[in-house]
Amino acid sequence: MEFPFVAEPTNSVQSSDGQSIVSLATIFVVPSLRVEFAPNAVISPWVSGGFGYGISEGRESFGNEVRHSSRYQSTGAAQFGAGVDVRTPIRVWFPISLRGEVRDYCAATNPGFGTACRGSGQNNVVVSGGMVLHF
């Protein structure tokens, strides 16, 4: 069991429609199950999937500076991902591994904020890497 969390900072939204938002930020928390292949090997690939919660935040006003009342929009979310952990000989109190991963956070609804959008959801693909401490 894992609890992937991703916060995407404010991104610009380009639109010729003055009734659309001009920036969007999102947060996802998606409890997931992860299956590791060869967990004790030097290179350990894994896959992950689960369902959880997402929230989108638009700017306080539209592009035409008219304020809108629904700045925050909550949605259900799914997460699908895959990655690889590489064990290293580095040890600082605990063994350390390096991790590379790709995750797709799929929002159940599209954060339109008053603007017509194509499709019924939004995909947020995150490519990341880091260190893993083994307890």
Segment holding 24, helix H or strand E? strand 23-29
Give how many domains the chain has, as a whole number: 1
In angstroms, the first-to-last Cα distance of the chain is 15
- pLDDT tens digit string along 57-80? 876 666 666 666 677 888 899 999
26: pLDDT strictly greater than 90: no
* Residue in the block written with tokens 């380009």: 14
What residues form DSSP beta bridges with 100?
84, 129
Of 8-12, 40-44, 75-79, the range with the lowest mean pLDDT is 8-12
Q: Which residue segment(s) compose the domain that 30 sits in?
A: 5-133
pLDDT band at 82 (very low <50, low <70, confident <90, very high): very high
pLDDT band at 25 (very low <50, low <70, confident <90, very high): confident
* Residue in the block written with tokens 């299956």: 35
